[in-house]
Chain A
Amino acid sequence: MIPIWYYAGKRLSAELKSRQVPLLAMAAAFSFVIMMFNLPIPGGSTGHAVGGAIIAIVIGPWASVIAISVALVLQALMFGDGGITAIAANCFNMAVAMPFCAYYIYKFASGDAVITSSRRVIAAAVAGYISLVFAAALTGFEFGIQPLLHIGANGLPLYMPYPLSVAMPAMILEHLAFGFVEAIVTALIFSYIQRTDTSILFGDESRANRNKSNKPATT
């Protein structure tokens, strides 16, 4: 994770505009709070949305890496949530894989649709759904390979005990449900932005800047 953070930090310091700073700060704060909303599912387990999709759509995937990582590291250090030995894995799943997955699904599904089109709302929702399930599947995979990698001298697993055949379905099936929450949250915030101020959206601004690099951003 360290090279990814390093690169994301470089990208951010090269590209960040002061207008985006409040959004960056708010993205981290939002991600922190949304993960506090634990949702129950049948079977006695819980899970949560991440907010990674809407964050990636608004501030871009590289800035998302930083924003969500900050939230995850704070959770681990201060609240013992996720755990400090799992920071790198958690950040990779939720702060790297998820926003990139979401951003490119959103872009692909949006096509050339105008920024205020309902197609983009659907694209955002789908991006939220798939990216959350994808991050969960990755996490399940990482859990599942633990008993293969780490076996104690007594033959018992050293860390996570469940094999891939248990961990993967557990994580994926649970998050097929939470994915709807992520999708709804993403769609609601996205359509709110559509109705109020689309100039904050990541792609919108960077495209405008690439075409006319010296023209000040329109408000």
Chain B
Amino acid sequence: MEKIVKNFAKGLVVLIILAPLGLLAVGETFGEWSNEEIHEKLGFVPQGLERLSSLWGAPLADYAFPNDESQTGAITAYILSGILGVAICGGLLYYVGKKIAKN
């Protein structure tokens, strides 16, 4: 592996370890509210959003373990999510890329 690629990989590992800092930010991104949050803001939940929200259940919704509210749980889940995300994104493109790449 080229040196710069190796160093990028190291950088990624550091980013994954630091990722739980992203948990410090409270509040929700504009437009990414949950049904409860939007109800609080508007006093009602738009019907279309309510209908669509049950379309898909993400296995690790919000990068957290289901039913685990503890802080260590949240941090572990966040790091695990980072590892999974990097492994799946990187792995998939590496595999497909190797198949289609010309030398």
Using known A-B contacts A170-B30, A174-B30, determine if residue A16 contacts B102 with beta carbons closer than 8 Å: yes
Contact partners of B29 in chain A: CB under 8 A: 38, 45-48
The SS class assigned to the B binding surface is: helix
Using known A-B contacts A29-B89, A79-B62, determine if residue A152 contacts B27 with beta carbons closer than 8 Å: no
> Interface size on A (CB < 8 Å)?
67
Which stretch from A80-88, A105-113, A124-132 is at the chain B interface?
A: A80-88
> Interface size on B (CB < 8 Å)?
61
CA of A157 to CA of B88, assembled, Å = 37
Hey, which bits of chain B sit against chain A, CB under 8 A? Answer: 1-5, 7-9, 12, 15-16, 18-19, 21-32, 38, 42, 44, 46-49, 52, 55-63, 78, 81-82, 84-86, 88-94, 97-98, 100-103
Hey, which bits of chain A sit against chain B, CB under 8 A? Answer: 12-13, 16-34, 36-40, 44-48, 66-67, 70-71, 74-85, 139-140, 143, 150, 152, 154, 156-161, 167, 170-171, 174, 193, 196-197, 200
Please list 13 pairs of residues, one from A and one from B, whose beta carbons are closer than 8 Å in the complex, sorted by A's number.
A12-B100, A24-B93, A25-B97, A27-B93, A36-B22, A37-B22, A40-B26, A45-B28, A77-B56, A78-B60, A78-B85, A78-B88, A81-B32
